[in-house]
Chain A
Amino acid sequence: MKRYWPMLKSILLYFVLTGATVLMSFPLFWMISSSLKTLEETNSPGIVWVPNSPTLAAYISIFQNQDFLRSYFNSVFYVTLSLAGTLISIAAVAYAFSRIEWPGKNIVFFLMLSTMMIPPQALIVPQYVFFNKLNWIGTFNPLIIPGYFAGGAAMIFLLRQSMAQIPKELDESAFVDGANHIQIWWEIILPLVKAPLATVATFLFVGLWNSLLTPLMYLQTVDLYTLPVYVSTLYNINNTVQQWPTIMTAAVLTTVPLIVVFFFAQRFILESVVVSGLKG
């Protein structure tokens, strides 16, 4: 018995871990399976693991739904525009905190870290009034513009930590060759922190793509709805029968970009989270 114990133990381990993986991924499986079902099957009192005859009817109908397509485009548009500005400004600020010596740096850095304690929701009320005064309600501006000011202290911190590890000699020799800070930042430092940049970009992407509260507050018309807001309107308690195949089809199409991005970025994320102890 003792001889077989290590083997038995690892079989048991794999058994438990596989079980946990099945449970954890079950919602995803159920989403896909339900999107291929008929309406009767989704509301059936018996268990229908996989549809008897998978149908793409819900996919075909959702691709003819103008509101859904527009909200998909809106999401892609707003996430791209916001991500670009946020990423570049975060990279600039991280550079200031890691590669330059300037008076007041420690104070500003401490201030930045302490903003991590402020829940973003504590600011939404006055920001709403502010954007209302600017006549920005009913536009994409409130969702995009704040990010351009290096929104996200945790992300700046993560990037700063990586930039600080690059040897100082690198910029000094570039200085001697006559390069200025902007060139050093863009041409030397940024290419060296590609992995942390990918991590930050992924976290930002996930946050923006999933964001519900701010789009809900600022995008008042269905023309501007982003995916999460539009998808949430598909479920309506006043309907006697919920169109689950349609809702789940929308859900699958909403989730695909997240899974694709995670698949490509996971090795950066899983490492940098373990290294820095940060979470998204």
Chain B
Amino acid sequence: MPENPYLNVLVTAALTVIFIIASSYGLGSLARFIVRLRGATAKNQENTFSGYFFAAPWIVGFVIFVIVPLAFSLYWSFTDYRVTSKDPANWVGFENYSNLLFKDDNFRASIINTLYLTVIGLPLQMGVALLLAVLLNQKMRGERIFRMAFYLPVILGFNTAVLLCWRLMLNTGTGIINQMIRAASTAFPPISYLNRASIFVQEIITAVFLGFNNGKFNLLTKLLEAGFPADNRVPLWVQSPLWTKMSVILLMIWGCGAMMLIFLAGLNNIPRELHEAAEVDGASGWQRFWKISFPLLTPYIFYNLVVGMISSLQIFEPIFVLYRDNQPLVSSTISMVYYLWQKSFSHFEIGYGSAISWVILVIILIVTVVQFKLQDRWVTYDVY
């Protein structure tokens, strides 16, 4: 292999293409041979060859990059395998899993953080997405420009560069967000009360969650003793463990454009006649939204809920960019995938990391299956 990294990858890519074409041809021929033995017509043989020939890249990739890795990681999750050590891996049975589920504080923190994002972040995110979708659904001029503007954050979303800009904006002392809060509070006292009340509520809720994290509620009692925040208080976005998750939620709300598009699709699918009939009967816009639009949107809410919950297990970039170098903060916001990365690639504990992967996989399967089971109870599929 050439030393030059660019040349190296070009050569590997060319070899990969040759390998894929060869294996496609091989798989196609094999499939054709099998159907010929079964006495298929010439046309069927031809179609079988072509079908497997064209689908082979995915089939071969599925075996190499999904099935085999999954099998290996299942095996390793029962061993103490480390990439760095020369010793062969030892079979440890369920030790990794029992440590992970019952003894590991960081893992418990990651579950509770996900719960926080699901219970507090997702409703906020979906609420904003739904509001924007309803506003855009009014069909007015320039709708396209607004739609673009609301979707752009999804594209920029988790780019490191954009996250660093958020870090600048969220700076406690000189960040623009806190400066605006300060300016508004001084200029207009009710905003100051509103600001401090929301700080108070937010910090108490987060303190409760952090209490579950480490089993100690001293932060909560300290907060309650301190009482209502002082005049000059501002949110401590990227500075205090009480605020780290709220910063992530802020980013989630900013990136609500993907959910908004889903809701917009749902609103488009609602038959116009329903609204017209209700209008004739004298229903107000508010009533029509809650009695017609909202029930018919439940499948879309449901979809966003499943996708949103799964993606909150997988949050990585915001934590890495905002908190990586501030270790005391990481545990207050750590996600499962971040923890997986930390264990596997800072400490190279492959056995333990594999166990985490399998737990993530199982949790996602359970969440999806449970949500699909529960949906009959509250999701309306009528009319469709």
Contact = CB atoms under 8 A, between A and B. Distances in A.
Interface stretch (B43-51, B201-209, B219-227): B43-51
Contacts of A43: 174
A140 interface: yes
A279 B174 CA distance: 36
A145 interface: yes
Q: Which of A47, A229, A279 has the most CB of B within 10 A?
A: A279
A77 interface: yes
A150 B61 contact: yes
A238 B160 CA distance: 19
A252 B337 CA distance: 28
Contacts of A244: 168
A136 to B, nearest CB: 8
Contacts of A176: none
B173 A45 contact: yes
Interface in A132-156: 132, 139-141, 144-146, 148-151, 156
B146 A258 contact: no
Nearest to B362: A122
A110 interface: no
Nearest to A97: B55
Contact of B69 (A42, A123, A269): A123
A56 to B, nearest CB: 18
Contacts of A45: 173-174
Given A85-B13, A132-B83, A119 B159 contact: no
Contacts, number: 315
B254 A27 contact: yes
A112 B150 CA distance: 31
Contact of B357 (A89, A123, A212, A270): A123
Interface string A217-248: 10000011001110110111110000010011
Given A28-B156, A34-B168, A248-B168, A21 B57 contact: no
Contacts of A102: 31, 47-48, 50-52, 55
Contacts of B265: 273-275, 277
Contacts of B156: 27-28, 255, 258-259
B13 A103 contact: no
Chain B interface category by residue count: 35 or more
B12 interface: yes
Contact of A125 (B61, B152, B258, B353): B353
A255 B164 CA distance: 12
Contact of A100 (B51, B132, B135, B364): B51
Contacts of A234: 164
B152 A259 contact: yes
Contacts of A89: 20, 57-58
Given A100-B54, A103-B35, A123 B65 contact: yes
A31 B159 contact: no
Given A119-B337, A234-B164, A250-B161, A126 B76 contact: yes
Q: Which of B254, B264, B313, B317 has the most CB of A within 10 A?
A: B317
A174 interface: no
Interface stretch (A10-18, A59-67, A190-198): A10-18
Contact of B50 (A16, A181, A250, A259): A181
Contacts of B68: 126, 130
A275 B265 CA distance: 7
A60 to B, nearest CB: 19
A57 B325 CA distance: 28
A145 B58 CA distance: 13
Interface residues of A, number: 106
Nearest to B168: A244
A111 to B, nearest CB: 7
Contacts of B148: 262, 266, 270
Interface in A65-111: 77-78, 81, 85, 89, 92-93, 95-97, 100-105, 108, 111
Given A141-B9, A148-B17, A185-B54, A213 B162 contact: no
B321 interface: yes
Given A30-B176, A112-B58, A149-B61, A20 B262 contact: no
Contacts of A268: none
B310 interface: yes
Nearest to A252: B161
B277 interface: no
B310 A119 contact: yes
A149 B179 contact: no
Nearest to B50: A181
Interface string B234-262: 00000000000000000000100010011
B264 A274 contact: yes
A16 B55 CA distance: 49
Given A30-B168, A118-B361, A255-B162, 15 more contacts: A30-B176, A89-B57, A102-B48, A115-B62, A130-B68, A130-B69, A145-B13, A149-B62, A150-B57, A212-B316, A213-B316, A223-B5, A235-B321, A248-B168, A280-B258
- 5 pairs of A and B residues whose beta carbons are closest in the complex: A149-B61, A102-B51, A96-B54, A251-B161, A126-B69
